[in-house]
Amino acid sequence: MAESNHLSPGWNLPAGEALLQDVFGIVMEEIVRKGTDASEKVCEWKEPEELKKLLDLELRSHGEKQEQILDRCRTIIQYSVKTCHPRFFNQLFSGLEPHALAGRIITETLNTSQYTYEIAPVFVLMEEEVLKKLRALVGWSSGDGVFCPGGSISNMCALNLARYQRYPDCKQRGLRALPPLAIFTTQESHYSLQKGAAFLGMGTDSIRLVKADERGKMIPEDLEKQINQAEAEGAVPLFVSATSGTTVLGAFDPLEAIANVCQQHGLWLHVDAAWGGSVLLSQTHRHLLDGIERADSVCWNPHKLLATGLQCSALLLRDTSNLMKQCHGAQATYLFQQDKFYDVSLDTGDKVIQCGRRVDCLKLWLMWKAVGGSALEQRVDWAFTLTRKRYKRWELGEQEREKNLLVMGQARDVTDKKRQCYVQSPTLLNPVVPSPFIRGKCFLFFGVC
């Protein structure tokens, strides 16, 4: 243990170590064990005013004793939602995967940044390997990629890359270098595309909504029509965002037909497979994404269906020309020196729009190492099996289905019940199903039948 007189005022490592031992104990008992016990509550719900009092949030000039801090940790956990609970249902969460959690704990504790090899030697190599594996599942033997802070940012970066590829001048000259551009997606696509278009200065008006069928899948003939119409109105068609697993209906857009249209018109095809991407692991069901290998970019969130925990979102590119670095790079000389004693192409930090970047590969890598790709495939298949079982039961009666669905926003109605059940999206047309796969934990999988 280091001598504490070299530390900043108020830092005491031996006491800190004791605190951490205790905190790990509390985490194990109150979250990992109780949080996954179906007989415990998902959350002890309080109205905001009461919760504020219970938490005593105010920050003061004096510090508190260790015992008090431990009490605070318990209180925080007590009133927080246990997303690992078997009765917690939401499309962003799939329960507590212990190996992934171990990866998250190590990541947090090492607290490094993913930007250069010198500060993250292990994780730079690991990220590349994980991305290579994900690309292989897409069907690419080469390409590029990066872990982004979420699918929304992955989608936005894909849009920026498409724009830069067509109009490299816009990096320097901005919007002055651009004609009015057109982006195509369906009503069912994720709202992050709207945010991305606004954030990149293209404006939400650039987005043209392509019709979807009754199951929520893009109609390729209408895409063709919309492209022609955009051109007739003087806009330049640039980008098509197809979705593999739409957020609400769980629809998989027909990628082959969409890729044909994109190829014919020379458009960038992005596939937002934020949650559906994990279906690529399943030999039985991956046909839902047939044609994905023809995409230019793919967004895939293992933190959804694969249960790695937030955040784990990959942006994958077919490009091999270093487009991402050219598009986003700024060559900061204090960080990305070109005369380092190792291969500076390992300094991947200039490919992204952040400076410091979290390590997001370890949780997925460790889980994969521990259970193997075949178990991940079984988990995905199991989700489908349960979805279909549940769907058959729901076919028996609409009423039963309604009973099973609660809106998260209505959680107040169930606060008196010992067990709370959180489910999002009561308006689903396709079924939604809790699929137990880890310690009885359920997770949501939207119907895709």
Ligand X SMILES: *Cc1c(COP(=O)(O)O)cnc(C)c1O
Side by side, which strands form the sheet with 313-317? 144-148, 313-317, 297-300, 268-273, 236-243, 181-186, 207-210
Among 435, 446, 423, CA closest to 89? 423
Min dist. Cβ of residue 445 to ligand X (A): 12
Q: Map the footprint of ligand X across residues 287-306, applying CB under 6 A.
A: 301
Give yes or no for residue 308 binding ligand X (CB under 6 A).
Answer: no
The residue whose two tokens read 């029509």 is 225
In whole angstroms, how close is the CB of 318 to ligand X at the nearest point?
A: 19
> What's the DSSP call for residue 252?
B
Please, what is the minimum distance in Å from the beta carbon of residue 174 to ligand X? 25
Q: If we measure between CA atoms, which residue out of 133, 104, 101, 119 comes closest to residue 357? A: 119
Residue range at the interface with ligand X (CB under 6 A); choices 9-17, 108-116, 267-275, 417-425: 267-275
How many angstroms separate the CA atoms of 194 and 153, rounded? 12
For residue 175, give Cα distances in angstroms to 51, 180, 198, 240, 387: 47, 9, 12, 20, 46
Per CB under 6 A, 87 contacts ligand X:
no
- Identified binder of ligand X from the candidate list 151, 220, 349, 434, rule CB under 6 A: 151
**Selection from 442, 191, 187, 164 nearest residue 322 by Cα:** 164
Parallel, antiparallel, or unpaired: how do β-strands 236-243 and 181-186 relate?
A: parallel
Asked whether the beta carbons of 134 and 316 are under 8 A apart, the reply is yes
Residue from 36, 116, 160, 313 in contact with ligand X (CB under 6 A): 313
Per CB under 6 A, does 150 bind ligand X? yes
Tell which positions 159-198 bind ligand X, by CB under 6 A.
190, 192
- Which residue, 93 or 117, has its beta carbon nearer to ligand X? 93
Residues 106-135 that bind ligand X (CB under 6 A): none
For residue 29, the one-letter residue type is E
Task: Quote the least distance from Cβ 191 to ligand X, whole Å.
Answer: 8
Of all residues in the shown chain, the one whose CB is closest to ligand X is 151
Instruction: Write out the binding residues for ligand X, residues 61-80 only, by CB under 6 A.
Output: none
Q: Which stretch binds ligand X (CB under 6 A): 44-52, 80-88, 243-251, 420-428?
A: 243-251
The reply on whether position 274 binds ligand X by CB under 6 A is yes
Interface ranges with ligand X (CB under 6 A): 150-152, 190, 192, 243, 245, 247, 272, 274-275, 301, 313
